[in-house]
Structures are given as structure tokens and as C-alpha cells.
A and B are shown apart, each in its own frame.
Chain A
Amino acid sequence: MSRNTIRIWYLIHKWSSLIPTAFLLMLCVTGLPLIFHDEIDAAMGLETESSLSGAPSADGGLPLDVMLERALAERPGEVPLFMAFSQDSPLLTVTTGPAPDAPGNTMHLQFLDRATGDPLGPAPANPLLDFLLQLHTDMFLGLPGMLFLGVMGISFIVALISGTVLYAPFMRRLRFGTLRTRRSLRVKRLDRHNFIGVVTLVWALVVGATGAINAFADPLTDAWRNGEIAEMAAAYSSAEPLPPAEYGSLDTAMAAAQKALPGRSPQFIGFPGGAWSSGHHYAIFFQGDRPVTQHLLTPALVDAETGELTDARTMPAINQALMMSKPLHFGDYGGLPLKILWFLLTLATIWVLWTGLFLWLRRRGGEIDRRVEEIALGAAQGMRA
């Protein structure tokens, strides 16, 4: 690799990591407790599911119309926005709001027990974790904040790739895993930075890329609703949105959808006029029927007035990638051991970011030429730093 090529990659690595460093450190630090949000909620007594017994709400229980009526009785004057099912317990979550297209901050979530029909009150909030999640998602800046963090995530991927490119010439004369701890502090930091960085590279790429995809979730969902959903509901394009008073039976709609997608378990229903449906349909989202496709949702659009199926189609590839990227980012799909690994790998990433930052902070004059030379010659066991 020529010195010019190395210089270009060196500058790419320097700036693609320096610019997002502060944000990446914030994401790592806020992400650490978020990995264990289920365990933390359970420990604080905020977990409802384990105390309920009966069939999972996705499989059966009281009729959905009865459940919705009870939920709305708790929230007079509001309209239904979402109904979400559990695959593990009778817990049913109903989201309501002042209007069908109500923004997220005016929505109200409540829990119900589909086995007994009892309302269980508002979904419990965990102020600390909610704060960290908001900081982690959009820094309290809404969509611009999300998109900004998405761009920081893309910069992180560029930093990982350019770092790997520089690893090759640098390591020509060093064996894998060499940590030169008796030279200067700089060499010690540099070796640890390179070693930990390259060992955790794939995980960091996956979590960085899935995080960036998640940051673009809102525009991707909007594009899907304006594209595929609009196409599926083309026959309704000139009709006025269906007023909530004219919503028909949910149970009839669910039966029609399950006839079209037999053997699938429902995950949630998007009500008409919201971000996840058309102005006229219940969009019922079903999980895949095999473990491989469990995270991929297929929506069935059912006319909310008549309960007749309009269409059921798999989502476009980019939206499927978005759905797969959620578990891969959260690390919540393989039990507690996987979460502990996520925790350790996040700590490793913090270390790589921190050592990288200090390698830059403690730089001296004429830095770039000397660094390029060091990489081009290949670091050596006995060389003075």
C-alpha cells in the first residue's frame, strides 16, 4: 500500500471517528442499561406479564370487540390507535389518542388482561429508562435528532472500515494479539485500540448498521404507507377517511385476516388513519410462522367498516430489513447470556472509542507524516515509538 493511499485512509479514519465520537460514547453509555430494560423493569416491579395466567392474548381469550370497548371506557372521548398482542401471556396493550392521526406524545397506552377482561391501568413507565431511551433515539429532538444520530452511525461504519484497512499494513510485522505494553503509553493505547477494534469488528458493524437503519425507521414507514399500503388500498383512494364511529367488528376483521394467513400469530393491529394503516383499514400484522421468519411481519388490510379482506402482502425488502434490524440492534433475542455479551461488547466499543480519542488528544506536531510512516513500515516489536 503506497504512502499516499495510507494517508488518505488515515485521514478518512481520523475524521469519520472524531466527528461522531462524542455521540457514539453517549450511545454506548445510554445503551448499556437499555440492554437490560426487561430485567430492570422486573426488578422494579414494573413488569406485568409474569403475574398473568391464561392463553397468550395472540391466541385467544375474550372477544377483541369486548376488550376494545373496555379499553375505550377507561379513556372517554379518545379513539383507538393500536392494539398489541403478547405471544407469552394474556396481556393486551391498547393505545388510544385524541384523533386517528394523533402524534406519539399524545398517545396513551393501557394494559388489559384478555383472559379476564380486566383493565390493568396505564402501561407502567420507568422514567429513568424512558429518559435514556429518548436520549439514545433522538436526543429529545424528534425526527431531526434521529436522522442526525443515523448519520453519526453511518460515519461510525466508515470509521470501522477505514480502521480495518489501516490494520493491514500496520500489523505486517506484528503477530495477531501483540500488545506492546512496555513501550510508551501511546503504543500501549494504539495496540489495544487496534486489537480490541478488530476482534469486535463484526459485532460493531452489525450494531452500528442496524442502529443507523433504525434511525431511518419513520421515513421508511411513511414510504411504505404511501407506497405499498396506498397501492393495496387503491380502490379507496378517493374515499373520505372512515370516522371512528363507523369502525366495524375487530373479531370479524381478525377472522378474515386469519383466513388469508392461516396459522400465523397476530402481533398488532394498526387502526385506520394512523402511521401503520390506510384511512379505511385495520392493518393486522402477523408474525412469520417459522423461527427464521418470526421477526418479519406480514400485514393484512381489512376494510374496517365491512370486515372484508382487501389484501395481504409481505412488506418491501427495505422495511423487512428494518424489522430484522431491531432485534439485531437490541440483542434481546437470545436470553440473558446474549445480553451479557452485548454488554461486554459495548464496553469494548467504549474502550476503542476512548483510546482512539486519546490517541488524537495526545498527538504532537508533524503527526500525520509520522503516523503514515509508522503504518507504512509496519509497526515492529523493537521499534521506539
Chain B
Amino acid sequence: MSHRVRPQSAIRIFAWPIAIGVAALIGLVLGLTGDGARDLAAWILLGIGPVVVIAALLGRTS
């Protein structure tokens, strides 16, 4: 059941990690620069990483 994926470019490989990382960074800064709505945005943006990890560990296997 070997199915080799064609080699991906560096941009493809890092697309999701960069998106999650940039969200986390914006979240960290927003939380630091205000309260209320900015804190809420910080929780959501920084929370993407942990949610992705939990979803992947519970879900997909191959």
C-alpha cells in the first residue's frame, strides 16, 4: 500500500505551520496590548495550535 506523494515545495511543506505560527504570534501580541476583545482574540488565535494537535491525535491514523 505504498503511495508516494510527489515531492512538495518548501512553501507547501510550511504553509500550515506558518499559518498556525503567525496566528499564535498575533494572539500573543494582541493579548499583551489590551483586554476584553483582544484577550478573546488571543485565546482563539493561540488556541489553534493545541486544537490542531488534539484533533490530529484523536483522529487521523495511517
Interface residues of A (CB under 8 A from B): 167-168, 171-182, 192, 195-196, 198-203, 206, 291-292, 295, 324, 327-328, 333-335, 337-338, 341, 344-345, 348, 378, 380-383
Contact = CB atoms under 8 A, between A and B. Distances in A.
Contacts of B52: 177, 199
Given A172-B8, A291-B33, A333-B31, 12 more contacts: A168-B10, A172-B13, A179-B56, A195-B53, A200-B53, A202-B24, A295-B32, A324-B32, A338-B42, A341-B46, A348-B53, A381-B62
Given A167-B13, A334-B39, A341-B50, A181 B61 contact: yes
Contacts of B34: 291-292
Contacts of A381: 1-5, 62
Contacts of A178: 60, 62
A291 B34 CA distance: 5
Contacts of B8: 171-173
Given A338-B39, A382-B4, A328 B10 contact: no
Contacts of A324: 32
A281 to B, nearest CB: 30
Q: Is the interface of B mostly helix, strand, loop or mixed?
A: helix
Given A177-B56, A198-B17, A333-B31, A172 B7 contact: yes
Contacts of A380: 2, 4-5
22 contacts: A168-B10, A171-B13, A176-B17, A177-B56, A179-B62, A181-B62, A195-B53, A199-B49, A199-B52, A200-B50, A202-B24, A328-B32, A333-B31, A333-B32, A337-B43, A338-B31, A338-B39, A338-B43, A338-B46, A345-B50, A381-B5, A382-B2
Interface in B1-31: 1-8, 10, 13-17, 20-22, 24-25, 28, 31
Contact of A327 (B1, B6, B32, B61): B32
B43 A341 contact: yes
Contacts of B16: 176-177
A324 B29 CA distance: 10
Given A291-B34, A333-B31, A176 B53 contact: no
A168 B13 contact: yes
A292 B35 CA distance: 10
A210 B62 CA distance: 37
Nearest to A178: B62
A179 B57 contact: yes
Contacts of A202: 20-22, 24-25, 28, 49
A176 B50 CA distance: 15
A182 B62 contact: yes
Contacts of A180: 62
A378 B28 CA distance: 33
Nearest to A347: B50
A382 B4 CA distance: 7
B32 A179 contact: no
